[in-house]
């Protein structure tokens, strides 16, 4: 079984003291998850590459693009911070997934496709060979603090059965209980925002996720 990696989502952090917030979890985490939202692909707006540029993190950055036409912005995110090590974009947001995967990889960054809860696994089958990881949304993208959708678990299982070495990231509604469900289904990267940043003891919260 693959090692479980924990990626705290800064969506639930205090943006006014972002680097302090990141420092408070980086020691215990494997990655720092950056949720980029444009108010168009999703109803909410967060931040862009200029903010990612200012992030100081001891751990690699995992950038989740929830934006329309991601192909227009790959270079900006790939170059803004040397800690960027993973970039995912939504399959529902582009007509050029192959081109984007190649562009991300050409920057020496791991490429991932993210899919919303209603998007079937088979839509990413044609890209599996080229992908470094898949991000499976376990809530509707747009906001932190939502309830984990158990209906997505069979999709994670399906992907894991098909690709034993693929990194599968579960994103949304992750807590100690749902982390177990997601990892049992086959996810090996867990994104958690409100559960970690809302905890009094962040170290303990992270430990609870790995079981
Ligand atoms: C939602 C984001 C998630 C979100 C997770 O659109 O992609 O990364 O921040 O937050 P929680 O853990 O609170 O569901
Ligand atoms: Zn995310």
Task: Give 5-210's CATH code, choosing from 3.40.640.10, 3.20.20.100, 3.20.20.70, 3.40.50.300.
Answer: 3.20.20.70
30, 62, 167, 171: the active-site residue: 171
- Which pLDDT band holds residue 115 (cuts at 50, 70, 90)? very high
38 is catalytic: no
Predicted pLDDT at 4: 97
Gap between the Cα atoms of 190 and 181, Å rounded: 11
Gap between the Cα atoms of 37 and 47, Å rounded: 7
On whether the CB atoms of residues 133 and 110 are closer than 8 A, the answer is yes
14, 30, 35, 38: the active-site residue: 35
Instruction: At 135, give phi and psi (nearest 5°).
Output: -105, 115
Give the H or E element holding residue 184: helix 176-185
Direct distance between the N- and C-terminal alpha carbons of the chain, in angstroms, rounded to an integer: 14
Predicted pLDDT at 144: 97
Q: Is the pLDDT of residue 172 over 90?
A: yes
DSSP string, 19-85: HHHHHHHHTT-S-EEEEEEBSSSSS-B---HHHHHH---SS-EEEEEE-SSGGGTHHHHHHH-TTEE
Predicted pLDDT at 1: 78
- 5-63 tens-digit pLDDT: 999 999 999 999 999 999 999 999 999 999 999 999 999 999 999 999 999 999 999 99
Question: Does the CB atom of residue 11 touch ligand 1 within 6 A?
Answer: yes
- Which pLDDT band holds residue 211 (cuts at 50, 70, 90)? confident
The residue to mutate among 113, 171, 174, having the most atoms of ligand 1 within 8 angstroms of its beta carbon, is 171
Residue 124 backbone zone (phi > 0: left; psi -120 to 50: alpha; other: beta)? alpha
Instruction: At 73, give phi and psi (nearest 5°).
Output: -125, 5
On whether the CB atoms of residues 170 and 159 are closer than 8 A, the answer is no
Question: Does the CB atom of residue 8 touch ligand 1 within 6 A?
Answer: no
Predicted pLDDT at 125: 96
Question: Does the CB atom of residue 12 touch ligand 1 within 6 A?
Answer: yes
Gap between the Cα atoms of 10 and 191, Å rounded: 10
Predicted pLDDT at 18: 98
Question: Does the CB atom of residue 172 touch ligand 1 within 6 A?
Answer: yes
Closest by alpha carbon to 9, among 39, 37, 40, 43? 37
35 is catalytic: yes
Instruction: Look at ligand 1, atom 4, and give the residue with the nearest C-alpha.
Output: 144
Gap between the Cα atoms of 50 and 34, Å rounded: 12
User: How do 61-66 and 189-192 pair as beta strands?
Assistant: unpaired
- 93 C-alpha vs ligand 1 centroid, how far in Å? 18
Question: Does the CB atom of residue 141 touch ligand 1 within 6 A?
Answer: yes
């Amino acid at each position: 079984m693959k090692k479980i990696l924990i990626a705290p989502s800064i969506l639930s952090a205090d943006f006014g003291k972002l680097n302090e917030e990141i420092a408070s979890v980086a020691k215990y985490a494997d990655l720092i998850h950056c949720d980029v939202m444009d108010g168009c692909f999703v109803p909410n707006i967060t931040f862009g590459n200029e903010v990612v540029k200012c992030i100081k993190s001891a751990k690699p950055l995992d950038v989740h693009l929830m934006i329309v036409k991601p192909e227009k912005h790959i270079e900006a995110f790939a170059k803004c911070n040397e800690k960027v090590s993973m970039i995912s974009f939504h399959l529902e947001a582009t007509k050029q997934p192959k081109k984007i995967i190649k562009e991300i990889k050409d920057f020496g960054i791991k490429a991932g496709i993210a899919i919303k809860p209603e998007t079937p696994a088979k839509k990413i089958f044609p890209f599996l060979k080229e992908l470094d990881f898949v991000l499976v949304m376990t809530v509707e993208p747009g906001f932190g603090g939502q309830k984990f959708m158990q209906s997505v678990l069979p999709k994670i299982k399906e992907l894991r059965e098909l690709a034993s070495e693929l990194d599968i990231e579960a994103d949304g509604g992750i807590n100690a209980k749902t982390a177990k469900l997601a990892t049992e289904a086959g996810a090996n990267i867990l994104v958690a925002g409100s559960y970690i940043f809302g905890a009094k003891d962040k170290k303990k919260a992270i430990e609870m996720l790995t079981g």
